[in-house]
Amino acid sequence: MSKRIYLCLAHMSGEEQKYIQEAFDTNWVVPLGPNVNGFEKDLEEFVNQIPGQAQNDDTLGKRVVALSSGTAAVHLGLLACGVGPGDEVLVQSFTFCASTHPITYLGATPVMIDSEPDTWNMDPGLLEKAIIDRIEKTGKKPKAIVPVALYGMPYKADRIMEIANKYEIPVVEDAAEGFGSKYKGQVLGTFGKFGVLSFNGNKMITTSGGGALICPDAEQWQKIMWYATQARESYPYYHHEAIGYNYRLSNVCAGIGRGQMTVINDHLAHHKHVQALYEELLADVPGIDVHSQPAGGDYDSNFWLCTITVDPSVRIVGQENAYKTIVKGAVGGAAGVIHMADSAHTDCEPNDNVEALRVFLDAAGIEARPVWKPMHKQPVYKDVPAYVNGVSEAIFKVGMCLPAGPCVSDEDVDYIVGKIKEAICLV
């Protein structure tokens, strides 16, 4: 095997180096500067696209602050919604930990909301039930709502916004995986009060590491900018009246972002093409279902990753050996900084056939991963309130992510599907 196929590997346009060189030539090697401003302008132009209008109409009026990570964006979005010690925040349970951890940074408690089966995202019915129940139990309204565009799939934005507006609770959209996804023609991250984007190495575009917060107006933009730069006052010396953060994006990284913005539309088209190919090639494989978007035209997912479910009845080669050994590296390439597990099992894990398929594909040079483990099943959140319906836990047991990034070719998809068929002895 000559090459390895990764889930979503960064892909450079070639323009990045020009912007980075400019940063060095002009000595803007700091967390502010022309590339940061230029990148923010590119992002504003992109997110402000409104349905049925030319691309450059600024009619949504959103402003963007570029930050050092998507996690920082979640943190500052919540902070600007007034989240503080003793508060509660309603958050989608089926997600990566960066949606929920910042709630705890602020001394608040995440309240986990399960998903609906159509999009795998926040169940609006459970959301409303949780709001009513939290008010009854605590006498206080939750401070914010955080829906997540899992693997790029838009949440039921209309229903969630309707409920949020009814109870007057601000929404911080976690569109970290959903950059460029649209609901009814509108870019995700522009429905709520704030919208989170991530430019980590494996996301739709990268700045190596970075993120952004989409803000509703100039006033909020100013406030986020202030918090992101250590909350400074206008004196000749450092005088502080509030706690700030060092969260601004580096001008060097923003140079990568400007280069990446020249290919975002190509990336979007490619991810959708790869998804369509998987849907076609896996259509006749019994027991394997590709998670597709709801029909009707409201949903326009970026298909950051292709996700499948594997029916428990599917037998995979080597299944009897699943979970017999402890995995040595961490998912996400954090080997060396992770804690070593002392057992191959936890009390909530993917089925044996899913793990066997992961191992089989890995041996064939294909990176595949389980879907996110729901936050309400994480030991670190065992004591927080959760409103569950079994959907995310059930999907976690049968779900799997397949490579879909800009470096994945049609031949790669063919090869991956061939290996899946081999793993279930269909060839």
Ligand X SMILES: *Cc1c(COP(=O)(O)O)cnc(C)c1O
Give the footprint of ligand X on this chain (CB under 6 A): 69-71, 95-96, 98-99, 148, 174, 176-177, 198, 200, 211
121-135 burial by CB neighbour count: b if 16+ within 10 A, else e? bbbbbbbbebbeebe
- Residue 139 region by backbone torsions, left for phi larger than 0, else alpha for psi between -120 and 50, else beta: left
Give the Cα separation of 323 and 247 in Å (integer): 40
End-to-end C-alpha distance for the chain, whole angstroms: 20
Instruction: Scan for tokens 């450079």, then name that residue.
Output: 12
Number of helices followed by number of strands (H, E) in the chain? 12, 14
Q: Which is nearer to ligand X, 161 or 196 (CB)?
A: 196
Residue pair 111/384 in contact (Cβ under 8 Å)? The answer is yes
Q: Least CB distance from residue 114 to ligand X, whole Å?
A: 16
Q: Which residue is nearest to ligand X (CB)?
A: 70
Q: Least CB distance from residue 4 to ligand X, whole Å?
A: 21
Q: Least CB distance from residue 416 to ligand X, whole Å?
A: 22
- The whole-angstrom distance between residue 160's C-alpha and the CA centroid of its chain comes to 18
Q: Least CB distance from residue 78 to ligand X, whole Å?
A: 12
Give the Cα separation of 41 and 378 in Å (integer): 38
Q: Least CB distance from residue 176 to ligand X, whole Å?
A: 3
Q: Least CB distance from residue 375 to ligand X, whole Å?
A: 11
> Dihedral of CA 166/172/174/175: which sign?
positive
Beta bridge mates, 171:
145
Kind and range of the H or E run holding 227: helix 218-228
- Three-state DSSP class for residue 387: strand
Q: Which is nearer to ligand X, 71 or 251 (CB)?
A: 71
Q: Which is nearer to ligand X, 124 or 147 (CB)?
A: 147
Instruction: Scan for tokens 């590119």, then name that residue.
Output: 42
Q: Which is nearer to ligand X, 16 or 174 (CB)?
A: 174
Q: Which is nearer to ligand X, 98 or 254 (CB)?
A: 98
Q: Least CB distance from residue 391 to ligand X, whole Å?
A: 17
Q: Least CB distance from residue 210 to ligand X, whole Å?
A: 7
DSSP per-residue codes, 309-373? EE-TT---TTGGGTTSS---SPTTS-TTSSPPPSSS--SS---HHHHHHHHHHHHTTB--BPPPP
Q: Least CB distance from residue 421 to ligand X, whole Å?
A: 30
Q: Which is nearer to ligand X, 147 or 316 (CB)?
A: 147
Would you tell me how many other CB atoms lie within 10 Å of the CB of residue 216?
18
Residue pair 94/386 in contact (Cβ under 8 Å)? The answer is no
Q: Which is nearer to ligand X, 360 or 372 (CB)?
A: 372
Closest CA to 167 of 96, 90, 242, 268: 90
Q: Least CB distance from residue 74 to ligand X, whole Å?
A: 6
Q: Which is nearer to ligand X, 22 or 116 (CB)?
A: 116
Beta bridge mates, 402:
306
Q: Which is nearer to ligand X, 42 or 174 (CB)?
A: 174
Indicate the pairing of strand 144-146 with strand 88-92.
parallel
Q: Which is nearer to ligand X, 50 or 97 (CB)?
A: 97
Q: Which is nearer to ligand X, 197 or 417 (CB)?
A: 197
CA-atom Rg of the chain in angstroms = 22
Q: Least CB distance from residue 95 to ligand X, whole Å?
A: 5
